[in-house]
Amino acid sequence: MSSKLQLWSVLILLLGGLTSCASGNIASQSPIHSDQPESTAITSPEPVTTPTTIPTPTATVTPEVIQKTYQMNKNYFIVPKVDSDNKKVVLLTFDDGPKEKPMIDEIINILDKHNAKAIFFVNGYRIKQNPDLLKLIFDRGQIIGNHSWDHINLKKENNETITKQIMDVQDIVKELTGITPEFFRPPFGTANDYIKELVKNEHMLYMTWSNGSLDWESSYKNKPLEIIKSVMEQLESGKNNILMHELPWTVIALDSLLQQIEEKGYFFVDPRAIDLEVKPD
Ligand SMILES: [Zn+2]
């Protein structure tokens, strides 16, 4: 019990440090607060300096090219296309957002720290409430996936409703980011043939998951160490499609979790490296 408490304290300290780092970043990027007294600006004027550096022309920037070296199999495992390639690969996914800016900022700060990309499987009704948060995820280079509009059990709906639940998310994401999602995950991991066919026709890759963090279970609420344990116990070469959620205890677990995954010799696949043309077998 005492060692658990110590670990917890370390996690809290780590999070505290990360949070302050994150807020430092935010502050440094923010414009000058309008509620600052004007006298501050008058009494300490900025010295006039001539820029000495020559700006780099943006036209020379070449777009990032991602090689499609991975594919998904019928068990939703992410595997290399060439059998001899590295199988110690992990796909990270976060479902049910976008909810809150502090959580998204922190998740992406941690992903950036580990040079990792993830799929954020989003719901339309949440995008409607927080369009800026969807843009934030996209602008920070993470991948958007479709998780239906209302997070209902699609299998219980008629085809017309199913189509609307899926296509309205495609439309709002396209409207806000200019791209349409290429990955689909049904709420509760359950679907019928109509849903799978529609997803395929819309050029999306249908997936559930293979490694559930269990962060959605009530018994895992506020238990980041248990979430880490759950994922690590399921980690297996060639079989890692990890389901997490935008939840506070998952955010607390994340940095340590990613570190432990890396220490076991795994790397995080860029979702854009998954070849959508290869049919799961
Ligand atoms: Zn969900």
pLDDT in tens, 132-149: 999 999 999 999 999 999
Distance from Cα 95 to the centre of ligand 1, integer Å: 5
- Per-residue pLDDT band for 42 (boundaries 50, 70, 90) equals very low
The yes-or-no verdict on residue 6 having pLDDT over 70 is no
Strand ranges, E, within 20-148:
70-72, 78-80, 89-97, 118-122, 143-146
3-state secondary structure of 279: coil
What's the confidence (pLDDT) of residue 30?
35
| pLDDT for residue 13 is more than 90 | no
Scanning the structure block, which residue is given the tokens 């595997």?
Answer: 79
* The two structure tokens encoding residue 41: 């600006």
Distance, CA of 204 to CA of 106 (rounded, Å): 28
* 8 A C-beta contact, residue 78 and residue 274: yes
Which tens digit of pLDDT belongs to each residue from 152-210? 999 999 999 999 999 999 999 999 999 999 999 999 999 999 999 999 999 999 999 99
Distance from residue 111's CA to the centre of ligand 1 (Å): 20
Q: Which residues surround the ion ligand 1 when the cut-off is CB under 5 Å?
A: 95-96, 187
Question: pLDDT tens digit string along 65-99?
Answer: 899 999 999 999 999 999 888 899 999 999 999 99
Q: Looking at residue 15, what is its pLDDT?
A: 46
DSSP annotation of 277: T
Q: How many Å lie between the centroid of ligand 1 and the Cα of residue 98?
A: 11
Q: How many Å lie between the centroid of ligand 1 and the Cα of residue 96? A: 5
- Given this model, what pLDDT does residue 29 score? 36
CA of 94 from ligand 1 middle (Å) equals: 9
Identify whether the C-beta of residue 97 lies closer than 8 Å to the C-beta of residue 122. Answer: yes
How far apart CA 146 and CA 135 sit, in angstroms, is: 14
What domains appear along the chain, each with residue ranges and CATH number? 87-216+230-273 (3.20.20.370)
For the chain, the average pLDDT equals: 84
Please give the distance, rounded to the nearest whole angstrom, from the Cα atom of residue 259 to the centre of ligand 1: 25
CA 247 to centroid of ligand 1, rounded, Å: 12
